[in-house]
Every structure is written in structure tokens, then in C-alpha cells.
A = this chain, B = another copy of it.
Amino acid sequence: MNTWGQGLRLSIFGESHGPAVGITLDGLPPGEEIDMEEINREMLLRAPGRSELTTARREPDQVEILSGLYKGKTTGAPVCGLIYNVDARPEDYDSRLRPGHADWTALLKYNGFADMRGGGHFSGRLTAPLVFAGSLAKQALLRRGAEVYGRIAGIGPVKDQALACTPEAWREIAQKAFPAVDEAALKNEIVKAKDAGDSVGGIIELVVFGLPGGLGEPFFGSMESIIASMLFSIPAIKGLEFGDGFRLAALRGSQANDELILENGAIRSLSNHNGGILGGITNGMPLVLRAVVKPTPSIAQEQRTVDASTMQPALLKTEGRHDPCIVPRAVPAVTAAVALCVLDRMLAAKYIS
């Protein structure tokens, strides 16, 4: 199922060590100006090989736009963005199933025909085209007053400091290459894991400001459903919560309810335990969510596994290129995904008058 969306329609393709990865995005309104510099800036935030904390694979991740753009503006026709793979090294992979990766399940599903070198179509590399599409969506949203920001809220057992839920605070954090308040402490967890030949997971927090109320639909199109359906496509995401999320279990209704007041004639809530979504529909308060990213399965420690070609037990130790922590590179993917969901709902929401 390589397609997604209703107001927008995404179609993704490619493998980690094949010729290219890419995405086609249909449904963008015509006449949207496209800022290629901004696209490149976002692509580099996700691209590998940019710091000692990421894999050594080095991809320029320059997007070639093949359609849907004319004189610097969208035409209304589908936009296809293509990213050729440059630094592929398929010889790094053999038939031993890498624990924690999709190698095993792809074998079950595709009877051995899948190209699983570096994860193939299951690779985190597929988030490169997603970030491209998300950048187009963010530009369209910004023109309509909505801003999407993400940050690293924790690495391993270390939580980042709380951050005020204001556009100012989040704009500032989002400009950092490592978007966290207590950058040093979190980075240190990654370095420690790397030095131990290991990897580490973390938490990403995301806020959308300036979102109009009324987005999302009952019953199956709740804003949470839409966002979750795309966020859980991003490899390594294993949990997602909105507003106070799992902490709501321990609260009483009197603590969890967001009371309503009037402000300049408009309704707003005094608190935001529901993260900007009630009954699956946005209420105009900031949309807040948190997602957990599991530790990268590729580690420099020996693990028990099975060789798929001989169906014999084997041992595997990843010597080559891999990320000790995928969380920083996942932030632009997560913000891209949410931006696409929000724009999808805005495009699908309007009634004829």
C-alpha cells in the first residue's frame, strides 16, 4: 500500500540500494510558490552523513522535480520528486536476517523475492521523499498560518527540559540542527551508546500552531486516526500519544477536562490536556503529540539470528555504516508526516457554498 491520502494523495517508491527513491504528491492547490532552498534545508536535516552521530553513508539527497511545477509554482498536476541513490553499498548485506529489522517479515511476505539490501523498500531511506513532500506541505501551511515544529524530547533514559507551548519557543528550537533544549545531555546519551557498540531510542514531541478548528471527521477520519495512519508508516515508530496521552489513564475527569471560556468572542480552552483534538476534530488549540522511536536495530554487538539462504542459525554483528540513534534524523520525517496530514484534512474539509 504505497498510496496515502484523500485531500492529498501520496504515492511512494524505491529501495535503499536501488537506483532511486521518490514520491508523487497529487492534490496540491495550483499556484503555490515552491522554495527549493527550504526543501534542501529540510532534506539535509534528515540526510545521512552530516554528523558524527549518524551513519557514514553520504547522500546529497538532492530532489529532482519531474512534474507539476511550472515557472516556480505548482500547476495542480501531480508533483513527482525523485532522489537518486548515490552512495549505495549493497555488498554490505548478506542473507543473515538482521534482528529488529524487516528482513524476517519481508521474507515471510514476499517469499524471498524482496530486495532487502539495507532494508530495501522498508528502509528509513524512504523517509527522504516523505521529507520532500512534507516540505511542500509545510510551505503551503505556512501561507495559511499553520506552523509544524518537532523536537527531541528524550534520548534513552534522559528527558529534555519542558518547553513552553508557544510559537516563539518552538520556532527557536526548530532552528537547531539538534532540536532540543538540553542538547549536550541528550547528545551524550547517543555518544555513550555508540561507544558501547550499541544504539539508543528516544521520544519526539511535535506541536502544530495556528491550526484551524473543525479539521478531522467522525467516525473513521478522526485527526488522531489520520495522523497515526501516517506516523506509524515511519520505520521505528512504536507508540504515539496525543495531548497528555498515557498520563490520562491516571487522571480524574475533573483534572483531564479542558474547561471552556470566551476570549474576544471566540471559545477557547483553559488547558490543553486533549492536545488540540476533541472527538477527533481540531479545536484550534495547539495540536500536541509525542512519538517513541525504538533504538536502531543495527548494532556492533553479536546477536543470534538465522541465515535465510541456508535456514541455519547464524551470528550477526553490524560492522558497517549505521546510526547509533535515529531520533534526530527522524524529527524532520515526523514533522513532514504531520504537515501532510494537516494539509490533507484542510483540502478535504471545505464544503461548497
Contacts and interface: CB of A to CB of B under 8 A. Distances in A.
* Top 8 A-B pairs, shortest CB-CB distance: A102-B279, A1-B221, A239-B241, A11-B11, A105-B281, A199-B253, A228-B228, A30-B113
Contacts of A225: 228-233
A351 B27 CA distance: 9
Given A102-B280, A105-B277, A248-B292, 20 more contacts: A1-B219, A1-B220, A2-B24, A2-B26, A3-B220, A13-B26, A15-B67, A67-B121, A77-B121, A99-B269, A108-B214, A121-B219, A193-B253, A225-B228, A225-B231, A238-B248, A239-B242, A253-B296, A259-B305, A350-B351
A9 interface: yes
Interface in A1-54: 1-4, 6, 9-15, 18-22, 24, 26, 29-31
B219 A105 contact: no
B261 A111 contact: no
Interface string A81-122: 010000000000000010111101110111101110001111
B121 A254 contact: no
A139 to B, nearest CB: 14
A260 B156 contact: no
25 contacts: A1-B219, A3-B220, A6-B6, A12-B220, A13-B24, A13-B78, A13-B80, A14-B80, A15-B70, A22-B67, A30-B114, A74-B113, A75-B110, A102-B281, A105-B279, A109-B214, A228-B240, A235-B279, A248-B292, A253-B297, A255-B295, A261-B306, A262-B311, A262-B312, A265-B311
Interface stretch (A161-169, A177-185, A200-208): A200-208
A281 B122 CA distance: 10
Interface string A195-227: 010111111000000000110111111101110
B105 A214 contact: yes
Given A11-B3, A29-B352, A203-B249, A279 B198 contact: no
